[in-house]
């Protein structure tokens, strides 16, 4: 039997429906799991995404892009193939793509997490025959603390810096993680300031109905913004640049799943690390895979070989699937691939 989806030079392709899922080249028709740059490429003829994510995808793909939407759980037919989108819990509008044809059901997760997140719909298990899963943090060492504990840590750090007259700077992906941090912290501690790349996407989140605290823009030619009281949320690409001089004395932290490993903090010369990831940790990956009831699992970006072997040792038909997705790359923890290089 021919595979319902296969990897081609342009991306993950459904021949029966003549469409791609998260292609890495320009194609006529693309079904998009979410708007991060390794999953959504500019220049495609037509896009299909989950309705909550349209403002974000529009911001990324440009005003001329043709974007169709589906509500979560709603189905459409593309050349005889039934396609539906289901919450992935990764970032706003993220979706698992369910593809059904000739008795086969495949689910492509894109990126996902199982933790509660006030800025996006929670992950929903989708049963299928073949489950295509990410494995960004597919090692047993990666286990996330509870979000409320992380929020308390960030708030305590910010409060201590404020009391000492230091500005608090958190480096986080401009799409998803930055908005999640803004929703987690206590705005009563002081003003929240956003880098231009972050604010552009904050506007898209608000257009989708997500409630976020007030986030100020950095005024032109400003000095000592926030008076040593502010929490600044910026992409990792600003580290080591003159942009940080706008805030006077500051303390810098990185928000990333890689911060679980203390050695990463030392090697990256990071003063403070907070374990915040928009990807599933190792237990989350196993929970999602089990909930899919899939008879076959294809493991993509991350620790694909390790996770596939772990699953085979437990009796599952699992193997790696080579794609060009990157997930939360370790190098990106300090050089944001998702930043629009907005200097504001």
Residue 254: the pLDDT is 94
Taking residues 148-161, report their average pLDDT: 97
* Together in a domain, 288 and 246: no
In a domain, 196, yes or no: yes
Q: Residue 245: its pLDDT value, please?
A: 84
The answer to whether residues 155 and 53 belong to one domain is no
The answer to whether residue 214 scores a pLDDT higher than 80 is yes
45-59, 115-129, 189-203, 328-342: which range is least confident on average? 328-342
Claim to verify: residue 86 and residue 208 sit in the same structural domain: no
**233 in the same domain as 156:** yes
- In a domain, residue 125? The reply is yes
Q: What average pLDDT does this structure show over 268-275? A: 84
Looking at residue 15, the DSSP 8-state letter turns out to be T
* Whole-angstrom distance, CA of residue 252 vs CA of residue 250: 6
- Whether 23 and 134 share a structural domain: yes
Q: What is the CATH number of the domain that holds 201?
A: 3.40.50.10710
Query: Which of 254, 274, 294 is the last residue in one of the domains?
Result: 274
Q: Indicate whether 270 and 157 sit together in one domain.
A: yes
Q: Count how many domains the chain has.
A: 2
Q: Is residue 286 a part of any domain in this protein?
A: yes
**The 81-87 sheet, strands edge to edge:** 75-78, 81-87, 95-101, 104-108, 130-135, 296-302, 317-320
Mean pLDDT of 80-102: 98
Burial (Cβ within 10 Å: 0-12, 13-18, ≥19) of residue 301? buried
Question: With helix as H, strand as E and coil as C, how does 62-84 read?
Answer: CCCCCEEEECCCCEEEECCEEEE
C-alpha–C-alpha distance, residues 197 and 190, integer Å: 21
User: Based on the domain organization, do 84 and 174 belong to the same domain?
Assistant: no
115 lies in the same domain as 263: no
Answer yes or no: is 341 within a domain: no
Final residue of a domain: which of 231, 256, 274? Answer: 274
pLDDT (average), residues 176-193: 97
- Domain C-terminal end among 274, 292, 312: 274
Mean pLDDT along residues 303-329: 90
| Alpha carbons 51 and 73: distance in angstroms, whole number | 11
Instruction: State the Cα torsion 173-176-177-182 to the nearest 10°.
Output: 120
Is the pLDDT at 342 greater than 80? The verdict is no
pTM above 0.75, yes or no: yes
> Mean pLDDT over residues 293-306, rounded?
95
Mean pLDDT of 224-228: 73
For residues 94 and 171, membership in a common domain is answered with: no
pLDDT above 80: residue 1: no
Domain extent for 181: 147-274
């Amino acid at each position: 039997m021919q595979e319902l989806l296969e990897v081609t030079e342009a991306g993950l392709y459904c021949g029966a429906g003549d469409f791609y899922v998260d292609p890495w080249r320009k194609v006529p028709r693309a079904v998009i799991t979410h708007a991060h740059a390794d999953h959504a490429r500019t220049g495609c003829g037509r896009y299909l995404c989950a309705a909550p994510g349209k403002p974000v995808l529009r911001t990324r793909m440009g005003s001329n892009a043709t974007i169709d939407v589906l509500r979560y759980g709603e189905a459409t037919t593309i050349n005889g193939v039934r396609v539906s989108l289901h919450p992935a819990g990764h970032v706003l509008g993220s979706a698992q793509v369910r593809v059904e044809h000739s008795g086969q059901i495949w689910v492509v997760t894109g990126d996902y997490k199982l933790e509660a997140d006030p800025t996006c719909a929670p992950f929903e298990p989708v049963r299928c025959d073949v489950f295509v899963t990410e494995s960004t943090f597919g090692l047993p060492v990666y286990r996330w603390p509870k979000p409320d504990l992380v929020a308390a840590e960030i708030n305590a750090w910010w409060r201590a810096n404020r009391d000492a007259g230091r500005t608090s700077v958190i480096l986080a992906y401009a799409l998803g993680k930055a908005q999640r941090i803004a929703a987690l912290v206590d705005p009563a501690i002081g003003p929240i300031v956003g880098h231009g790349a972050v604010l552009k996407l904050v506007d898209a989140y608000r257009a989708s109905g997500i409630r976020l605290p007030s986030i100020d823009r950095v005024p032109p030619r400003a000095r000592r913004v926030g008076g040593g009281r502010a929490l600044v949320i910026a992409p990792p690409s600003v580290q080591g640049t003159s942009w940080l001089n706008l805030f006077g004395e500051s303390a810098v932290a990185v928000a990333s799943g890689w911060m679980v490993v203390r050695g990463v903090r030392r090697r990256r010369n990071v003063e403070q690390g907070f374990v915040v990831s928009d990807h599933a940790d190792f237990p989350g990956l196993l929970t999602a895979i089990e909930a899919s009831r899939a008879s076959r699992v294809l493991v993509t970006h991350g620790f694909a070989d390790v996770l596939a072997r772990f699953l085979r040792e437990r009796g599952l038909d699992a193997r790696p699937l080579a794609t060009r997705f990157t997930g939360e790359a370790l190098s990106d923890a300090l050089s944001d691939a998702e930043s629009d290089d907005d200097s504001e």
